[in-house]
Amino acid sequence: MSAGRAIGLLLGLAADGVIDPRNGRPVARFTRAAGELERRLGTDRPLAGVAFAGGLAGAAVLVGVLTERAGRRSPVMQALGTAVTTWAVLGGAGLVSDGTELARDLEDGELAAARRTLSQLDPRVPDSLDAVALSRASVETLAENTTDAVVAPLIWGAVAGVPGLLGSRAISVLRGVTRGKPAPYRWFIARADDLVHLVPTRIAALLTVAGAPVVGGSAQGAWRAWRRDTIAHPSPNAGRVEAAFAGALEIRLGGRTVYSHGVEELPVIGIGRNPDAGHVTRAVELSRVVGWLAGVTSVILASLAGLRRRRRSR
């Protein structure tokens, strides 16, 4: 069974890089459906937030459990089910495409187009961002989404199979569609998201350190920024990967960030110059490298988990 899961994860990751009809993927449809349902609820009460998130995430996990059971007796069916689900939930190819578009628009001075693309990836208000601020925001969102849309699903898929793939991605989507809502409404979703990404963000930061030299970055800088700057970040997870990206590219991130719900003064992370379009291009390549390293890591974890299960059954 472990072989089927490992092969499925690798095949799904490969398919993500080749087949990218983003609007037709189940995760895109789930995002639209979740957003529409959240708007129709029309309430900001905490219990509504719990019911909304718990119901949708629970449904995603249930679908995963049924899919996993269907392939339990056949390694081929398990590999196929895992591969299709992995392709369905991963967002690596879309992230690379959007990041490349951002870098191109910034290089050409098409700031309005860059703001439109950024608004599809990040909840901050981009209207007043200049080229430097757009470059900073682009690198930050590439770092964060590399964890949410690539690393976390793969790691959870390795240890929990299809339910892990669907459940972890569902939580990420729900966090996104409820941004801007009152804190009591979002509390359950935010805590669930923190828990789901607790380990994957640290793995993503470590993989960023490992992958930095591949894109001409600094592994030492990534390690130092990760260990030094994440303490001051308000998020227990997101700041780690952003700091690692900043250190790898030798740039500064963070600072004043405007959201629809207000202004946040985030700590400055990294040491170096302000980012530009070239750094966004390198961040795209770093995201791609981290994604493939995460794929290899997930295959190893799935294989080790399978070996442990076989030893226990003897």
pLDDT of residue 21: 58
Domain extent, residue 185, equals 2-313
Distance CA 198, CA 261 (A): 25
pLDDT for the residue numbered 24:
65
Task: State the pLDDT confidence band at 151, using cuts at 50, 70 and 90.
Answer: very high
What local confidence, expressed as pLDDT, does residue 158 receive?
96
Question: Does residue 49 surpass a pLDDT of 70?
Answer: yes
Predicted TM-score of the model (pTM): 0.93
Mean pLDDT of the chain: 91
Q: H helices then E strands: how many in the chain?
A: 13, 2
Identify the bridge partners of residue 269 per DSSP, sorted by sequence position.
253
Confidence of residue 1 (pLDDT cuts 50, 70, 90): low
Q: Count how many domains the chain has.
A: 1
- pLDDT above 90: residue 235: no
Q: What's residue 82's pLDDT?
A: 96
pLDDT in tens, 72-92: 888 899 999 999 999 999 999
Q: Does the pLDDT of residue 160 top 90, yes or no?
A: yes
CA distance 109 to 124: 20
Vertex 263 angle, CA 34 and 54, to 5°: 25
For residue 88, the model assigns a pLDDT of: 92
Q: Please state, in angstroms and rounded to a whole number, the distance separating the CA atoms of residues 83 and 10.
A: 7
Top-confidence residue, 2 or 206: 206
What's the average model confidence in pLDDT over 124-137? Answer: 94
- What is the torsion angle, in degrees rounded to the nearest 10, for the CA atoms of residue 235, residue 236, residue 237 and residue 238? 20
State residue 31's pLDDT score.
Answer: 87
Per the listing, tokens 């609820």 go with 41
Task: Report the pLDDT value the prediction gives residue 23, as an integer from 0 to 100.
Answer: 57
- Supply the pLDDT for residue 297: 97
Q: Return the pLDDT at 45.
A: 84
Q: What type of residue is 212? A: A
Q: How far is CA 50 from CA 41, 43, 216, in A?
A: 12, 12, 44
Side chain identity, residue 258: V
Three-state DSSP class for residue 198:
helix
Would you say residue 47 has pLDDT above 90?
no
DSSP state of 215: G
pLDDT of residue 11: 96
Residue 169 has pLDDT above 80, yes or no: yes
Q: How confident is the model at residue 184 (pLDDT cuts 50, 70, 90)?
A: confident
Q: Quick one: which of 182, 169, 184 has its CA closest to 50?
A: 184
Mean pLDDT across 202-213: 98
